[in-house]
Amino acid sequence: MAMNLSLSGRRVIGSLGYLLAVGLPLALARPQDQTKTKSDEPKKTPLYDTKADAQAQVEVATAAARRDHSRVLVMFGFEGCGWCHKLHALFAQNPEIRKLLHDEYIRVQVDIQAPHAAELLKTSKAALSEEELKKGIGYPFLAVLDGSGKVVTAQRTDPLEEGDHHDPAKVKEFLGKWVAPPTEARPVLDAALAKAAADDKRVFLHFGAPWCGWCHKLDDFLARPEIAAIVSRDYVDVKIDIDRMTNGKAVLAEYRKGEAGGIPWFVILDGQGKVLVTSDGPKGNIGYPAELHEIEHFLAMLKQTARRIEPAQFEQIETTLRKTRADLGLDRNR
């Protein structure tokens, strides 16, 4: 499926978000049901997970940051930390900060008691100046990592506070200062083409944007370890962000021949950049392959251009797509 205009939440690595509690309609509720008890109140999903391995979380996040040419924001803390919940609430409620995080960062919540948290915290604290270290750190404590996992900067959050809350302007200034530098789209593609030519592979070139929910679905699908292992047999996977990458729209227009349409849109190229097949199927751009005809076209694209993927692996790709389709509830719409 493709999108023209949308806004979807960027992935957050860790235990985040809230669960909605759904009750009986008022018209059906009995008088004694009108009085709510504490157990009836919506329960919040914990902000931190003491069992979530910090190293594993960061590895997943940095892989996504490399693909998106973005950065990772690690927020160290613990469930009983009131200021941690205040900062998380600011992230969710302030529109400008929420968009900045959504577009430019992959977020990771690390409980300070979690496996490998101590090592990551030590490495992150090393980015502070001696003067800052002498002041000690409280929680939440922030660290910004690049796609390789290197700590770019760290931040004590008490300087971001104003009275009993965090100052939105200070938080926004910090986050805006450490976004990844703009990336030129053409050199990214050229590097992928060079690698494909050297390895006798094709290039799976897909275009997306931060606001596009189906683009994230495609990204997540291609990033699944079992799918990535299959796709990498024949393809160099490269993503162009048409909003965040310099000249991203120009590269899209070059391959799309200036025709308008939704995203994600993708094309398979040979090592010299020749178009072999696109995601434009009989019914138009398939975007993320969720509908049955979209899955069929996606598999046809791969079978037409792949040379090393085996029949059982094509079946695995199809099975995974069909399962995701069922998980999305699309089978009920048939």
Closest by CA to 214, choosing from 290, 282, 295, 299, is 290
60, part of any domain: yes
Q: What CA–CA distance (Å, rounded) separates 268 from 285?
A: 14
Half-sphere exposure (Cβ direction) of 206: Cα atoms closer than 13 Å: 29
72 close to 105: Cβ distance less than 8 angstroms: yes
- State yes or no: cis peptide before 264, omega within 30 of 0: yes
Do residues 86 and 161 both lie within one domain?
yes
Q: What CA–CA distance (Å, rounded) separates 58 from 120?
A: 9
Chain Cα centroid distance, residue 242 = 16
Q: What CA–CA distance (Å, rounded) separates 264 from 233?
A: 22
Return the SS3 of 208: strand
- Number of residues assigned to the chain: 334
Place of tokens 């992928």: 192
Q: Per residue of the chain (334 residues), give pLDDT as tens.
A: 876 633 333 444 544 332 233 333 323 233 333 444 445 555 678 999 999 999 999 999 999 999 999 999 999 999 999 999 999 999 999 999 999 999 999 999 999 999 999 999 999 999 999 999 999 899 999 999 999 999 999 999 999 999 999 999 999 999 999 999 999 999 999 999 999 999 999 999 999 999 999 999 999 999 999 999 999 999 999 999 999 999 999 999 999 987 778 999 999 999 999 999 999 999 999 999 999 999 999 999 999 999 999 999 999 999 999 999 998 888 765 4
112 close to 47: Cβ distance less than 8 angstroms: no
Do residues 171 and 197 both lie within one domain?
no
Do residues 53 and 129 both lie within one domain?
yes
Do residues 128 and 258 both lie within one domain?
no
pTM of the model: 0.79
Closest by CA to 309, choosing from 189, 202, 194, is 202
Instruction: State residue 55 phi and psi, 5-degree precision.
Output: -65, -40
* Domain containing residue 164: CATH number: 3.40.30.10
- Which amino acid is present at 217? K
Q: What CA–CA distance (Å, rounded) separates 61 from 255?
A: 30
Q: What CA–CA distance (Å, rounded) separates 267 from 253?
A: 12
- DSSP letter string, 286-302: --S--SHHHHHHHHHHH
124, part of any domain: yes
Number of structural domains (the chain) is 2
Do residues 225 and 311 both lie within one domain?
yes
Do residues 262 and 311 both lie within one domain?
yes
Q: Please tell me the predicted confidence (pLDDT) of residue 259.
A: 75
Residue 76 is encoded by which pair of tokens?
Answer: 């160290």
Do residues 114 and 190 both lie within one domain?
no
- Which amino acid is present at 21? A
62, part of any domain: yes
Do residues 119 and 157 both lie within one domain?
yes
Mention every residue, 6+ apart, whose C-beta is less than 8 A from residue 135.
156
Residue 32 is encoded by which pair of tokens?
Answer: 């004694």
Q: Please tell me the predicted confidence (pLDDT) of residue 260.
A: 74
Do residues 246 and 154 both lie within one domain?
no
Q: Please tell me the predicted confidence (pLDDT) of residue 127.
A: 96
Q: What CA–CA distance (Å, rounded) separates 156 from 139?
A: 8
Containing 276, the helix (H) or strand (E) segment is: strand 275-278
Return the SS3 of 237: strand
Pairing mode of beta strands 235-241, 202-208 = parallel
Q: Please tell me the predicted confidence (pLDDT) of residue 34.
A: 41
| 233: DSSP letter | T
Domain that holds residue 52: 12-19+43-177
Q: Please tell me the predicted confidence (pLDDT) of residue 278.
A: 97
Closest by CA to 143, choosing from 108, 195, 99, is 108
Q: Please tell me the predicted confidence (pLDDT) of residue 71.
A: 97
Q: What CA–CA distance (Å, rounded) separates 294 from 296?
A: 5
36, part of any domain: no
196, part of any domain: yes
Spatial strand order in the sheet of 265-269: 235-241, 202-208, 265-269, 275-278
